[in-house]
Amino acid sequence: MLKMNHLSKVYRTHLIETHALRDFSIHVREGEFVAVTGPSGSGKTTFLNIAGLLEEFSGGEFWIDGVDVRGMNDDQRSRLRNEKIGFIFQGFNLIPDLNLFDNVDVPLRYRGFDAAERKRRIEENLTRVGLASRMKHYPAELSGGQQQRVAIARALAGSPRLLLADEPTGNLDSLMARGVMELLEEINRQGTTIIMVTHDPELAARAQRNVHVIDGQVTDFESEPQLRAPAHGSDTAAAVA
């Protein structure tokens, strides 16, 4: 589903060069639930941004769903992002003056679905996260956990193959965090690949596989996901090169 080989990312100013990722290699297979952990500044978020085609990388190779990302222009990357990737952010990132229906509608508009198809998908996904009755409510009228559920509905509305979650429970209390995590596990069980960046070892432990990043490199990984009870009982075979 996602494969990076010897990827590097360098931030340059006129004074210094910062290597955010160096010789970074990872292979996430379809249906996996991978947790990426590591200390602050280790490159977790940079990895997630590059994986989500939100940032360009400096060197190496990168495929998503078999598509070579190198050399793609901005429009092609936007289209690929829209069709194959869903995002869940720590801060939910809902648009405050749009109601839940319109928030979930955003990625579908750029996908070019007609009104009936958009409505069907919005209702289906808000129902899936248990908020169908609050479609006309605004984000400020919801709790943090509910807002994150809306963000998940938005991420799922376009039927992405890959879900990228950046500290999805970072702004939630433990009860809400548990609810969101159970929802992610449920989504993964239904076949969506999930890569989740987290600081929380307890959450990371619930993923099929952990990838530890330090100083922009993968330093520790489990090559045998079967060792842990898989969230998705597939034949996933993780390989981190």
Partner 1 sequence: MFAYYLQLGLHSLRRNPLLTALMVFGIALGIGTSMTSLTVFYLMGSDPIPWKSDKLHAVQLDNWSAEEPYRAPNEPPDQVTYLDANALMQASKADLQAAMFKVVWPLQPENPEIKPYSAMGRATYTDFFAMFEPPFKYGGPWDRAQDKENARVVVLSRNTNEKLFGGEDSTGKKVRLNEIDYTVVGVLDKWQQRVKYYDLTNGAFNDPEEYYVPFTTAVELKTRASGNNSCWEASPKPGWEGYLASDCVWIQFWVQLDSPARVAEYHSFLDNYVNEQKKLGRFPRPLNNRLPDVNAWIVDQRVVPSDAKIQVGLSFAFLIVCLVNTVGLLLAKFTRKSGEIGLRRALGATRGQLFMQHLVEAGVIGVSGGLIGLVLTWFGLMAVRGLYADLNNVAHLDWFMVLTSVALSIAAAVLAGLFPTWKACQITPATQLKT
Q: Is 74 in the site for partner 1 (CB under 8 A)?
A: yes
- Do β-strands 217-221 and 67-68 pair in parallel, antiparallel, or remain unpaired? unpaired
Q: Is 67 in the site for partner 1 (CB under 8 A)?
A: no
**d(Cα 46, Cα 224) in Å, to the nearest integer?**
25
Contact yes or no for 50/216 (Cβ under 8 A)? no
Q: In the stretch 170-199, what mask flags binding to partner 1 with x, by CB under 8 A?
A: -x----------------------------
Rank residues 54 and 132 by Cβ distance to partner 1 and give the closer one: 54
Q: Is 114 in the site for partner 1 (CB under 8 A)?
A: no
Question: DSSP letters of 190-207?
Answer: TT-EEEEE-S-HHHHHHS
Q: What token pair was written down for 41?
A: 């500044």
**d(Cα 76, Cα 61) in Å, to the nearest integer?**
17
Q: Which stretch binds partner 1 (CB under 8 A): 12-20, 36-44, 63-71, 105-113?
A: 105-113
Rank residues 85 and 211 by Cβ distance to partner 1 and give the closer one: 85
Q: Is 210 in the site for partner 1 (CB under 8 A)?
A: no
Q: Is 110 in the site for partner 1 (CB under 8 A)?
A: yes
Contact yes or no for 107/82 (Cβ under 8 A)? yes
Q: Is 83 in the site for partner 1 (CB under 8 A)?
A: yes
Q: Which stretch binds partner 1 (CB under 8 A): 16-24, 34-42, 59-67, 103-111?
A: 103-111
Q: In what order do the strands lie in the sheet with 85-88?
A: 85-88, 162-166, 193-197, 33-37, 209-214, 217-221
Q: Which stretch binds partner 1 (CB under 8 A): 52-60, 61-69, 175-183, 207-215?
A: 52-60
Q: Is 9 in the site for partner 1 (CB under 8 A)?
A: no
Q: Is 166 in the site for partner 1 (CB under 8 A)?
A: yes
- Shortest distance, position 239 Cβ to partner 1, whole Å: 27
**d(Cα 87, Cα 85) in Å, to the nearest integer?**
7
Rounded to 10 degrees, the C-alpha dihedral 49/55/58/60 comes to 50
Residues that bind partner 1 (CB under 8 A): 45, 49, 52, 54-55, 74-75, 78-79, 81-83, 87, 89-91, 93, 95, 97-98, 106-107, 109-111, 154, 158, 166, 171
